[in-house]
Structure 1
Amino acid sequence: MPRAVREQQMLDAAVRTFGQRGYRAASMDEIAELAGVSKPLVYLYLNSKEQLFSACIRREAAALVAAVRGAAGGTSVPPVPADRQLWDGLTAFFTHTAERPDGWAVLHSQARTQGEPFAAEVAAMREEIVSFVTTLIAEAARSAHGDPSLPEREVAGLAQALVGAAESLAGWANVEDSVSAKEAAATLMNFAWAGLGGLMEGRRWVPSPVPAPLPVPSSSL
């Protein structure tokens, strides 16, 4: 079997084991057994448990980013509106995380809790997605006003909030088997894009006034 094919076979087994058992509990013995190879062969190809886990993170992160960018590329002519690009990207995100729950567990649950360098690799993937969403929000503001009316810092904050909400919603959707990727994407669009639409039209949330306290009646003697 070609080395590249054998390596992917090992990574498939490792992602499944790390995703279901956790990084600490997973053993090279069970990964080798699941892959149908000897443990020395796993070490020959991927050197150590740490390097195997890093390879899993890089592969799953690249696959997720490619799925989102591929769905929401916005390269068609005429160009696709920013909200449609975001909708397509979110749908691809939720579809991908549902189809590869072990890979999502590696990225979202395992890598972030195991310290460096694993957390840094996931952070790099997340920043790439945040940067992409930031661009979409800025483009939507330009479409609405003819210029980027939202401050750059505010756009970046909105993108961070949107990506964080998508990550949390993916975990919920994977537990709730009845929730489809399109339903999860629609939930987030209804929650987030409606609010963004108000911002782009100049309507901002302000705190409701606090009612004045009722006068305390004086006690009669």
Structure 2
Amino acid sequence: MGAVKGKRIPRAVREQQMMDAAVRTFGRRGYRAASMDEIAELAGVSKPLVYLYLNSKDELFTACIRREAQALLAAVWSGAEPGLPADRQLWAGLRAFFTHTAENPDGWSVLYRQARTHGEPFATEMSVMRDEIVAFVTGLIGAAAREAHRDPALPDRDVAGLAEALVGAAEALAGWANETPGVSAKEAAATLMNFSWAGLENLMNGRPWQPPSR
């Protein structure tokens, strides 16, 4: 009797294996230095099979960006707790964000260091994810203003600017936390809350910092 053939791996599973290998390679070596040969070897498949499934290095990289962005957004949304005060929601969302980026450093490197630095269409894919997070934070800051004032004192433009600044700080802090031994997701989130929310609280309570008059 002939040997029993191994069970065929479904296409979707094989694609995820290739993308896992690609994220690891892109995240650690960078988009330019990563090779399809290396990705295929790490995934345990032939290079022609990688091209058959994912067409080109550009398309593979784009698929990795989309997958990692969706995973990060899902982590932040599931971590946030609707119905709580704005600061508690932000705290929960930040902890989820830093937990995910710490547990998936290669994926975060693909998003933060690679996608945004290699032009189009990669930067646009990153921007779509970032816009969703900024919108989430904008809503929380607006909610905090409404909680502090029956008639919110912060103009929409100021709220949007604060949200952009906070998200930018979170992105930079995630990179630092991943490269600094011993920094936990909770510690990173607390650092950002102390940096941002303390100032926001003063602003909400009518105590904004003012530049010198001269």
* TM-score bucket (shorter structure): over 0.9
Count of equivalent residues: 206
Q: Under a length normalisation based on structure 1, what TM-score does the superposition of the two structures give?
A: 0.91
Q: Which string of whole-angstrom CA distances, capped at 9 and with x for unpartnered residues, describes residues 71-110 of structure 1?
A: 1141xxxx21110110011011111111100000000001
Question: 1:35 & 1:13 partners in 2: Cα distance?
Answer: 5
Query: 1:147 offset after TM fit, Å?
Result: 3.2
Question: 2:112 & 2:179 partners in 1: Cα distance?
Answer: 14
Question: 1:147 & 1:28 partners in 2: Cα distance?
Answer: 57
Q: Which string of whole-angstrom CA distances, capped at 9 and with x for unpartnered residues, describes residues 131-180 of structure 1?
A: 00000100111111123321000000000000000001011101112111
What is the aligned counterpart of 2:131 among 120, 127, 130? 127
User: 1:213 corresponds to which residue?
Assistant: none
What is the aligned counterpart of 1:98 among 90, 99, 102? 102
User: 1:4 corresponds to which residue?
Assistant: 12
Largest Rg, 1 or 2:
1
What is the aligned counterpart of 2:60 among 45, 52, 59? 52
Residues 1:142 and 2:166 are matched in the alignment: no
Query: 1:208 offset after TM fit, Å?
Result: 4.2
Question: 1:173 & 1:206 partners in 2: Cα distance?
Answer: 31
Question: 1:116 & 1:73 partners in 2: Cα distance?
Answer: 35
Corresponding letter in the other structure for 2:150: G
Question: 1:28 & 1:176 partners in 2: Cα distance?
Answer: 30
What is the aligned counterpart of 1:166 among 170, 173, 178? 170
Corresponding letter in the other structure for 1:19: G
User: 2:196 corresponds to which residue?
Assistant: 192
Question: 1:147 & 1:66 partners in 2: Cα distance?
Answer: 33
After TM superposition, the runs of 4+ consecutive aligned structure 1 residues lying more than 6 A away are none
Instruction: Name the Cα RMSD after superposition.
Output: 1.0
Query: 1:207 offset after TM fit, Å?
Result: 2.5
Question: 1:81 & 1:3 partners in 2: Cα distance?
Answer: 45
Query: 1:23 offset after TM fit, Å?
Result: 0.5
Paired-residue identity, %: 75
User: 1:71 corresponds to which residue?
Assistant: 79
